Amino acid sequence: MSSPPDLVSLEDSEELLSAIEVATADPLAGIFGPASMSWRINRESALFLGAARAALLQLAHPWVATALEQHSTLMERPIARFQSTFRIVFAMVFGSLSQAVNAARHLYGVHTHIRGEITEDAGTWRRGSGYEANETAALRWVYATLVESAVLAYECVMPALSEDELAMYFAESKTLASLFGLPLCELPADWPGLLAYCRAMEDSDELGVSKAARAMGHNLLRGAGSWIKPPAWYCALTASWLPDRFRREFGLTVGPAEREAVENARKRLSRIYWRLPGAVRFVGPWHEAQARLKGERSGPIARISNRFWIGERHLPFA
């Protein structure tokens, strides 16, 4: 059994937020701003390509899967789960300073009520062992899956990022981690360190797909409870980005037909994606942030896109 959980305290969270507030040069532009790698990567609608991968890897952590099973109905409505995640993340990335900080406080408050007991053995965790959402190891895993999956999705349709660009993106992601309540001492030192951490976690018994997680994963990939049904190539791409272990544990297949579907999809996407008009290619929260910086209200394109990405017409936490 793992050691007792190391919980993020309210005092620790507020100390991290205070440091962010002091370091933010332009509160209107937010924590990262238009020149950042965080805006450049996260504005791309291609992020959707990596969303299911991140969600499945998060479900592979028994704490995350059990918390969703016991405290949320969103995995019965996976698009709502997707929107809930991006509502928080996009408010942190593209919102003003106050929106980002309010989103962080909201997330911390929600997590304080998410605790309970594991309902089935998975990985090193045994039925009846306790979990809490504001635990640093679980938060670090969720953060890492989001950050790495964003790069995978970006590089699927755009030129690969340079070492300097990845270093800049990772440095900025440490601030995102602070918004989650994670201090620097809980994070890898650099981008290669993050990748090493992810591979080590994937090989460890800290993760393990329970029956509940497997069911939620299949609901996600079939678009249960939503009019949005992921196409076969998307499911195949998601499965291809998972380690062999989790493909087996989630009961997913990547055979010749799936590999061909992935290859064809990647070829099509690489040809057409960069030609898409900005109204489609860039996410609504980025459009809204651009309007805010001009002192304008967001237009219909941003509002329509926001409805897809975050389930609301405007970024929350204003």
* 271 belongs to a structural domain: no
* 44 belongs to a structural domain: yes
pLDDT band at 224 (very low <50, low <70, confident <90, very high): confident
* 283 belongs to a structural domain: no
Please count the structural domains in the chain: 1
Q: What is the mean pLDDT of residues 256-263?
A: 96
pTM of the model: 0.94
Is 193:174 a contact under the CB 8 Å cutoff? no
238 pLDDT more than 60: yes
With the CA atoms of 279, 24, 147 and 55 taken in that order, what torsion angle do they form, in degrees rounded to the nearest 10? -70
* 72 belongs to a structural domain: yes
CA 265/CA 24 separation, integer angstroms: 40
Q: Which pLDDT does position 138 carry in this prediction? A: 95
Q: Which pLDDT does position 24 carry in this prediction? A: 97
* 53 belongs to a structural domain: yes
Q: Which pLDDT does position 204 carry in this prediction? A: 96
CA 260/CA 183 separation, integer angstroms: 42
Q: Which pLDDT does position 123 carry in this prediction? A: 86
131 pLDDT more than 50: yes
* 70 belongs to a structural domain: yes
CA 179/CA 231 separation, integer angstroms: 34
Q: Count the Cβ atoms, other than its own, within 10 Å of residue 172.
A: 20
pLDDT band at 239 (very low <50, low <70, confident <90, very high): very high
234 pLDDT more than 80: yes
201 pLDDT more than 60: yes
CA 239 to the chain's CA centroid: 17
Q: Count the Cβ atoms, other than its own, within 10 Å of residue 89.
A: 22
* 246 belongs to a structural domain: no
Lowest mean pLDDT among 76-90, 209-223, 249-263, 266-280: 76-90
Q: Which pLDDT does position 82 carry in this prediction? A: 83
1 pLDDT more than 50: no
Percent of the chain past pLDDT 90, that is, above it, reads 87
Domain that residue 117 falls in: 10-229+296-309
With the CA atoms of 194, 198, 199 and 200 taken in that order, what torsion angle do they form, in degrees rounded to the nearest 10? 100
Q: Which pLDDT does position 3 carry in this prediction? A: 52
CA 1/CA 18 separation, integer angstroms: 35
* 157 belongs to a structural domain: yes
Q: Which pLDDT does position 72 carry in this prediction? A: 76
215-248 in b/e form (b: 16+ CB < 10 A) is: bbbebbbebbbeeeebeebbbbbbbbbbbeebbe
305 pLDDT more than 80: yes
Work out the angle at residue 281's Cα, subtended by the Cα atoms of residues 95 and 286, and round it to the nearest 5 degrees.
Answer: 10
The Cβ-side half-sphere exposure at 310, using a 13 Å CA radius, reads: 24
> Which backbone phi and psi does 178 adopt, to 5 degrees?
-60, -35
Write out the H or E segment, with its range, that includes residue 237: helix 232-240
CA 250/CA 260 separation, integer angstroms: 21
Give the DSSP letter of residue 117: E
For the segment 135-181, what is each residue's pLDDT rounded down to a tens digit?
999 999 999 999 999 999 999 999 999 999 999 999 999 999 999 99
Write out the H or E segment, with its range, that includes residue 302: helix 300-309
For the segment 21-79, what is each residue's pLDDT rounded down to a tens digit?
999 999 999 999 999 999 999 999 999 999 999 999 999 999 999 998 888 766 567 77
The mean pLDDT value of the chain amounts to: 94
For the segment 90-112, what is each residue's pLDDT rounded down to a tens digit?
999 999 999 999 999 999 999 99
3-class secondary structure, 201: helix
3-class secondary structure, 216: helix
